[in-house]
Amino acid sequence: DTRVDTRADTRSQQHDSKKLSSAQKRNNTIIGITMNKANFNSQDKWHSAITMAAYFAFGIIHELAHLLAAESVSLLSAIQGEFASHTSNICWDNIFSIFVDRQVHIDTDDMNESQEMIIRHAGWMISLLLAYFVCRRFGTSSSVGLAAVVTAVEGIFTDLCGFGQLLPFGNSYRSTLSGTTFFCGNFGVLLLHHWWLTNKGKKSALDCLEQMVNITMMRGAQSGGVVTYVPNGKNNMKAIRTRVVNGKRTDLSKLVRNEVQKTFKPKPGTDAVLLAGHTRFATSSKASLSGTHPHRWSPGSWKRVYNWSMNRVEKTWVENFITHNGDFDFLTIQGQTYELEAVQHWLSVTTGTETPAVVDSCAIAGVLDLLRAKGCFALSIRYAICFGNFESGEAASKVSQILSGATSGSDIFPKYGDLEKIGTVFENVLDGQLASSELEGRNGEKCQSLADIEDSVTARTMLAGKICRSISSRSLSVMKPIAPFVDLLQTEYELNDADEEALDYTSSRLFAFCMMTVNAFFDNDLFQSTKLFLENAKGSFGLSTSSTLDADHQICFAARGQTLSVSFYPSKGIVCFGSEQAATKAGMNAIFDGKIAGSQFLTTTNMNEHDKWHRLDLDDLGGEIAVLDWGSSNSAVSKPNRHLESYSMMDGKLRLVLHQESKSLSTDGEIYHRMTQLSDNVLIKPPNDSKSGGSKPDLVLKDIESIPGVIKSIQDSWHSANASTSMNRLTAYTLSSCLRGRLRDHVKGNVAPKAVDILLTGCEVSLWLAEQFAADLQKCFPKLNIEAISSNKLLGLFGQDLSIPATGFKYSPKTTNLNDSIVIIVSHSGGTFAPLACSNLLQSATKNIFVVTSEWDTQIGKQLRAMDAEDHDRILCRTFSTEIGVRPAEPCSVSVAATHQLLTNLFQYISVVILSDPTFFRVTGAVITEQDIKILERCSHLTIEALTEITGSSLFGYALDRTTNTQKHLYSAGDLWAEHILENARAYIMTFVYVFVTVTTGYPLLSFIASVVGLDMDTSPWAYAVRLLDAALYFWLPQINIILIRLVQGRNLRHRMVGRTVVIGDIPWVAQCAEAFLSKIFAVSYSIAGVNVLSGNPCDHLVHRHTHRVVRGALAIFGRPDGRLSALSTAEASVCLSVNQASSIQSLGGTCESITIGHNPFKLDLSRKGIFLKRHRPLFLCERLLIENDADLEKSQKLDIVPETTSKRRSSLVREIKKVFSSRRLESNLGRSIHSVLDCSISIAKPHKRSAPALLGAYLNIEE
């Protein structure tokens, strides 16, 4: 409108002043337009400023409403006794978030659903009321009214409806309650020295905790949490739980550390600090805060609990937490087994708390709430009516009806307040007996304390009888809430006329109920509760349990089907526990200031057996429970478990009690005999410190650079000079004994038909390496039956009550005979679930089990060592180790190279064992010779030099002072592919910059150029054409930017402008490992810079599977066998054919970018690039023959004659070779054998470079 009015005024001026020149008219028009625009823009900016200021002000009020509501709810609950204390949410972090981020963080962990709803809805309701009054006062169209309305609408969307923010700075009420924000492993530390409470000590403890999380993350890193306990008044503890959900590109270990650091503020004078945590790999639900451990079922609350030392009841804060990895499937209650869903409903009824999370682990916390009843009669009564049956009649009990779904149970199960009233009856009787000392023990001694009654079964029985009599005579009306669950003798709750003293209470259900309640009151401590749970639960459990009732002196662990280890560091005053053995070794790196005076844990030299660092691995196969007790003066466990031996640990500051569910491990009286010594043990490697050298290193690059040194170390460990000290050689000796026994059985005919002689098993990369090893071994010894089978499939077939069908899989219990087979488990981590389970499962069929892993100290190694625990007459080693330790980098590189090298050495060793005995040679049908082993050994050693050139690092992991030619070619190819992958991201950035600049300035490119050349963009009809071109430029801008990038980089303009697909072609294990490596490298990349990775065998199915995916700009890389060797010439020809077939598929003159890597220096015409590796291996006979042919041909061309001496010289050379191969003695110096004969002294002016087909033809033309 402003423009129209201005133009009208201008036209009237032109009509009145006809003498003005055309230039003056144009100037007046421009000036008028500018002035009116300035006025309009000034008003618009002022209106916008007021709107934004009001919007932020109303947002602050909105967030303050949440905060004040939270404060009111928390304070009121603390006054009423529902919370342990009032924890204020008013802090600088929240104040900053309110005024800057328009967000507020409310800790609602201890609040129930109704309290949380009050806080949630306070914001939008206040915003809605504020908008109503503001609009009435200023109007909806005003700046202030508009801001108030937007804030109210946003509050309704975010708080009421739960949608996302409408605006980038919208309201965001965030809570740590389950559900309000968006493989597993346990870990934790117990700090037993006051130094850990200093600033330096807290930092060191958090460093240790972070490293434990970093290692445990291998089991799952989707979320994690930690619970710790702090004093909350005299003889009382409060739990502080922190939980986080990991992002795709964030580090869970750092997130957990940062959250714990906010709350890790132990008070001075604290004897010990416990931090128990867990990382989760979601299996039963999506990754969410509600499913994140540590789990708690019932919110904490004040309960009447007896103080054992004071013999009196006190108000105590009760809250139970668990961390669990595994599966909780079924629970047996009153003799019947129920599935998880029924148990969760039952827990909701009995605890009065709705299911906090649908995950199975959370239900364990609920069961613990029911079981952990020691010291509290209300909890003991609830335990008795939940797990005991005291009803009359033949009908199913009320508890069974609740579990089966016959009744909801919420209307009949007593509330906790009713249970406390009933508990006062028990308390009154107990207090009276303690005051009068009427209770007597078995031998007539007086029971004057709770501890005395606890130790005497007679006193307990007398107490139960007195309680039963008190209920029947005076308190039946109080017992009415539990009447549906307990037969109280009187149907109308009135006394009959019988003599009270004559009633026989011991035979009644009421007495049984009282007896069970009393026993739970004295027995159900943390250890007994965990034990009861495992006795009645079905599933797999790696479990830690803790409670505010015990957190000042106890934590309990359990292992059944899941691993759990505890490491003790007496000289540092720290205990580390976790599901990963390697994680518990983080204490080895923990920094502890040993100069503090008066410490009992500072022994650094001349450690005796009790001062050294040790690790205890719980028996996960048979099931085992452990409790650590560090603060109580009484027994660590209640009476039912006091027959168990208590071990003194940590210089007497810690007691350890163990209970084995089944005796799968034999132990003597000395606990250290079953523990692993961590200090002064050359076989134990501390975890790699990822923080060494300052900032966190590139773990993938670090692994690649270490490959040459690792390979050299493995080869040295197999050298004969180390035969008496190398663990690999000692293990190989044990393997050779098993192999010789198996071969003797073959000679005697004692091996069943189709029985497996050597079985290799593993998962993913380890399995692919094992498959190649098995294939090579089978081809060299064709009469043996050698198989490689996935551990998952073995476990599915042989390790399940109902076998998992494996369609297309030829193996089954009826077709596979594994009796006395030699089993080699390949597992880099040594703790992957399926191989670990197989190491236990296969022991029932054979004892000849070995493992190839990254270090001696692994879970599988532990299980295999346990097999020989009873054999004290000989030393049996079962672990082949690459000695590279835990490698946290997910894309595997050094682990693949190291495992392949170790399997190569193992292949040589097995071959030597078989060839050393003519009988074994015959029975295996061996086709490999001693000379072959020599050549393989030499090639293996020469590989190190080739790896140094490829990786650019020395044997010690340091970068070379030069860039090798191989590296230059590899870097060049990498740069080329990086340009392909990054072009979309670069074009996006360029597009953003262009749009941002042109829209902000109001001058699109073509419009700006038109204005500069004098085109009137307001009046000229050409202005519409210019704007049309600008619109087209905006539409095609990403493609235009990509073309500009390709012009600058000199790349093909016709390639597709989409994400890239990488196709890897090589032999199966190489292609599969490379695909896994590359796909994991890009696992956290943004989609705009991501790749799709495929792999295949170019000699087999690659063309059929993937050539239809070939498009312009697709990236393909192929490994070329060295066709200069006659045995590989056909393979190279097949690969080259596949490359040409893929590269010949063209569209608009463009095709894929194919790269080949190999030793034959002949570039394919259709490939984009060829990378040629330097030959480090010796010259072979076939190559010598080709060189002689080339020399004769060159000579004949110079002299113009036909060569006649070639066949004679070739015959002489072949005779020399036969002499070398006819020798059955294995020479130590390989250089004096075949390769001294093949040492080529013939020189050629110009070496011939042959393609794969040419090499194949040349070999076909050579006479035999």
**Greater confidence, 882 or 79?**
882
547 in Cβ contact with 372 (< 8 Å) = yes
pLDDT of 826 reads 96
Judge contact between 205 and 189, C-beta under 8 A. yes
- Residue 410: per-residue pLDDT: 82
What three-state secondary structure class fits 845?
coil
Determine phi and psi for 1251, rounding to 5 degrees. Answer: -75, 170
Mean pLDDT of 365-380: 96
At position 866, the amino acid (one-letter code) is A
pLDDT of 1264 reads 46
Higher pLDDT, 158 or 361: 361
Q: Are the CB atoms for 1017 and 1011 separated by under 8 Å?
A: yes
Query: What is d(CA 427, CA 420) in angstroms, rounded to the nearest whole number?
Result: 10
CA–CA gap between residue 141 and residue 134 (Å, rounded): 11
Q: Please report the pLDDT score of residue 288 as a whole number.
A: 80
1252 Cβ contact partners less than 8 Å away, ≥ 6 residues apart = 1120, 1123, 1129, 1132, 1133, 1135, 1136, 1160, 1162
Distance CA 903, CA 880 (A): 9
Axis crossing angle, helix 894-915 with helix 764-780, rounded to the nearest 10? 20
* pLDDT tens figures, 270-329: 778 999 999 988 766 677 888 899 999 999 999 999 998 888 999 999 999 999 998 899
Q: Tell me, what's the pLDDT at 1210?
A: 55
Cα–Cα nearest to 363, from 402, 324, 408: 324
448-479 residue pLDDT tens: 888 888 888 889 988 988 888 888 766 677 88
Check residue 405 and give left, alpha or beta (phi > 0: left; psi -120 to 50: alpha).
left
User: Above 70 in pLDDT, residue 25?
Assistant: no
Average pLDDT, the chain: 81
**CA angle (1205 as vertex; 1203, 1208 as ends), nearest 5:** 145
pTM of the predicted protein model: 0.78
pLDDT at 693: 39
Tell me: the pLDDT tens digits for 555-575? 999 999 888 999 999 989 999
Q: Does the pLDDT value for residue 440 go beyond 50?
A: yes
Element (H, E) at 788: strand 786-790
> What's the average model confidence in pLDDT over 329-353?
93
pLDDT tens-digit profile of 251-279? 889 999 999 998 888 776 677 899 999 99
pLDDT greater at residue 302 or residue 134? 302
Contact 823, 850 (CB under 8 A): yes
Question: What average pLDDT does range 89-113 have in this prediction?
Answer: 63
**pLDDT band of 18, cuts 50, 70, 90:** very low
Q: Is the pLDDT of residue 988 over 50?
A: yes
Q: Can you give the C-alpha Rg of the chain in angstroms?
A: 39
| pLDDT at residue 149, rounded to an integer | 83
- 102 band by pLDDT with thresholds 50, 70 and 90: low
Distance CA 77, CA 119 (A): 13
For the ranges 36-40, 293-297, 491-495, 651-655, the lowest mean pLDDT is seen at: 491-495
3-state secondary structure at position 825: strand
**Minimum mean pLDDT range among 219-223, 543-547, 1012-1016:** 219-223
Report, as an integer, the average pLDDT of 679-700: 73
Beta bridge partners of 853: 881
Query: What percent of the chain has a predicted confidence (pLDDT) above 70?
Result: 80
- pLDDT higher than 60, residue 4: no
Angle at 1171 (CA atoms; ends 1170, 1172), nearest 5 degrees: 115
Which ranges in 952-1058 belong to alpha helices (H)?
965-1001, 1005-1012, 1022-1035, 1037-1049
Instruction: State residue 371's pLDDT score.
Output: 96
Q: Transcribe 1070-1098 into DSSP letters.
A: HHHHHHHHHHHHTTTS-GGG-EEEEEE-T
Q: How confident is the model at residue 40 (pLDDT cuts 50, 70, 90)?
A: very low
User: How many CB atoms within 10 Å of residue 52?
Assistant: 13
- The reply to whether omega before 294 is within 30° of 0 (cis) is yes
- C-alpha 527/C-alpha 644 separation (Å) is 12
Predicted local distance difference test score (pLDDT) of residue 1201:
53
pLDDT tens sequence across 700-712: 898 999 999 999 9
pLDDT, mean of residues 596-611: 44
The C-alpha atoms of residue 307 and residue 313 are separated, in whole angstroms, by 6
The mean per-residue pLDDT over the stretch 147-152 comes to 82
What pLDDT was estimated at residue 78?
59
pLDDT confidence of 134, banded at 50, 70, 90?
Answer: confident
Identify the DSSP state of 486. B
- pLDDT class for 348, splitting at 50, 70, 90? very high
CA distance 109 to 115: 11
- Comparison of pLDDT for 506 and 423, the residue scoring more: 423
Interval 227-234 mean pLDDT: 84
Closest residue by Cα to residue 960 from 948, 970, 944, 972: 948
The pLDDT, as a whole number, for residue 499 is 42
